[in-house]
Structure 1
Amino acid sequence: MGEDIDYSKLPRRDVLCIDVKSFFASVEAVRRKIHPLDAYIIVISDFERPGAVVLASSPKVKKEFGIKTGSRKFQIPEDPKLMIVEPSMSLYLEINRRICDIFRRFVADEDLLVYSIDEAFLDISATRKLFGEPLEIARKIQKIIWDELKLVVSVGIGDNPLLAKLALDNEAKNNKSQIAYWSYEDVPRTVWRIPKLTDMWGISYGYEKKLNDLGIKSVYELAHRNPLFLKSYLGIMGLQLYYHSWGVDYSRISEKVESKHHSYSKGQMLMRDYDSKLEIMAVLREMVEQICIRLRKYDMVCEAVSLYISFSKHEASFGFKKTKKLPRATNHTSEIALYFDAIFEENWRGELVRQINVSCEEVNPAEAYQLDLFGSIQSEKTNKIDNIIDEIREKYGKTSVFRAYNLSHGSTFLHRSGYVGGHKGASSLDKEEKK
């Protein structure tokens, strides 16, 4: 039971979890010489689609209009104060790099974990003697990022990564100082008072429902249930959630866990509902080719492929997700495309398609595999063709050479050739600045 948890025997680190407030929107505000906290900026994925997703909105937009990440373009009210802008992913990645360089002034690489483009964990246990107490270091980092980049950051401080993340999400972001510290001893007045189960890091809506079905409606109630009871119903996750509710987390940033198998994936929300098989197949093959280019770039091969097709809202069913094991590991576009084609052919019945996600699963270094005797000659020819195309594109750009289906009706290749991470690499403002 929880009463038996002895915090004095648990590892205690000095961990910071740092988040840039409304990162994309803040960067857009700074480039327009507006204070991020005074801006009314909304970054939207695509101007052309009414259902386009909001990627970020300034704090004032969230507070006054309720528009936040995940909202849709059609939900944005017509108000002269609101400034709707396109994303500039290349700029965001560059700013992220500069922020990480600032973090490296305080920790070694092994003690820095970049959690997302706008959030990172820093374990300052080994360097606090050089820079001061955790609160002092948090303030220094805030000041440097403001002085050099004019961005506002929130900092959660904890005895482990879990407590630092919870402090960030549940207190720091709402504090005037934008800093909060949660220790083991604070758990009864901090963790147990988190208002909703889904506000607890690691509890999804699915697990919230499972816990609700067990009569657990709050983090406090979770912390005071028998852990063996939770394990019997939820398995090992039941125990993990129980110990998390007591602020227990043994993970250490410098001991990053690498998964046994990796996957490379790519997703695309289509501009409209697609009903033509030829159009859908053209987009599917374009996406498969993009993943295969990545596989070859890092000299990796995959052993399985997975296809997720989401249907239009006008269809009765949501779509399908299917995985197919490959007879041998490969990174050749033509080979891998055949298996994606087969999955699509076997499962599509003429429904309207709105979203496509492709994934190459069980990815490992190519050197770990040996070509089979009969397939080696043909494979070598295919490999040469793929590599030549890759080299031309690397040197002269994505659109310097492309396949015939990239010109077919419904293809999105040329339209999306300037995108980064699925979003526009440069906005119209970027293009104007280059003139």
Structure 2
Amino acid sequence: MSRVWNRLPGAVALLCLTIGLFYAGGAFAQTPVAAPALLAHQSVLELDGAGTAWLGTSTALVLLMTLPGLALFYGGMVRRKNVIATITQSVGVFAVVSLVWFIAGYSIAFGANPDAALQPYVGGLDMLFLNGVTLGTANTLLTGIPEYLFIAFQMTFAIITPALVTGAFAERMKYSGLLLFTALWSLLVYSPICHWVWGGGFLGAAGVLDFAGGAVVHVNSGVAGLVCAIFLGRRKGYGAEPIIAHNPVLTMIGASLLLVGWIGFNAGSAGAANELMGVALLNTVLAAAAAALTWKIIELIEKKKVSLIGMLSGVVAGLVAITPAAGFVDPKGAVIIGLIAGPVCYISSVWIKKLLRYDDSLDAFGIHGAGGLIGALLTGVFATTAINSLSEGANVGAQALGLAWTIAYSAVGTFVILIICKFTTGLRVSEAEEAAGLDTSLHGESLDH
């Protein structure tokens, strides 16, 4: 009884505090909320509930593409001694890019530059650390979607782009070098190119069509991957001894997650739960199927057998090629793009790589670079106003202009960043570390333990 009596004052005080907070909260709730002070790229949010729900789902799907999708897709194709290291690269890219996007990437990509002369080339820095973004703001590109969600959706694109690059230098880059490269590349290469095409920059104004990232994501990452592969040099034993994928089933799981996640990637880029979202979704699946089929046919003719990894590479090739076109072409155009993408990416990944003898470990350029190029060009051929009014005036010349700028800037920017990394963190592991495997030499872990 005495214990209860001793605790009574505290209980009464807690009750009084709860009641007080309840009424205080009511008073606060009745206080009018001031309209947000808008930045140049913002508008007042006019909430589209259905569109917001779909974009939230799409954000989760695109994030699924990197973790675990791409991580497993790449992880299954390397040798057993490098599986953990390869997967860990995707995890590191996710962590670094998320913070870079929060700090400055979003502002550079989608902010408005106070200097009108610079606006076509780079966004401003008025949203560092997302300053000025509130619950009541929207980006003028999607006025019905909360800006916080728009930021998250675009962040998933920023994450997967440098994650794709890692496939080009798998099994030979230092982890510290990877992290520094990713931070600088995301900030100095990805964000400006994103601004050029989607953030109010000069390529978008010139009529370049890129529905979900043919140039911004795939050509950009493919070219960067090619520069990295050449700069770092070939893996020890490349061309002299077989380098065999240790687990195609793991790659199958990753590719399946990529296929499902790509629905969010392409159909989510419609920005609403509408008719355009529906056709972009269908186009995505059709192109993947078509490219898988033609890759299979070419492989069967050349090797008399069809490999699982080959079929999966064909699926990804179709997904890459339809990305810039998904919301601009009809299903017939999507199938044609997929049918063409299969052989183009096969030639790039197998024949051209053998001919030029560069070591693009997991075909970052072979699939993403080549697939993005052919998809972007064919967008200018098959885009139709029956699907999207923005297709009016679509032409191969404008698409080629966008690709030329993307290739040049990505190549030069990547090369400069690699030099910076080489003389700071370093880039390539030692021969002993490479021979032992990056799992144990860099991470102290192994599938055998």
Report the TM range for the smaller structure's normalisation.
under 0.3
Question: Of the two structures, which has the highest relative contact order with CA contacts closer than 8 Å and spacing of 6 or more?
Answer: 2
TM-score by length of 2: 0.24
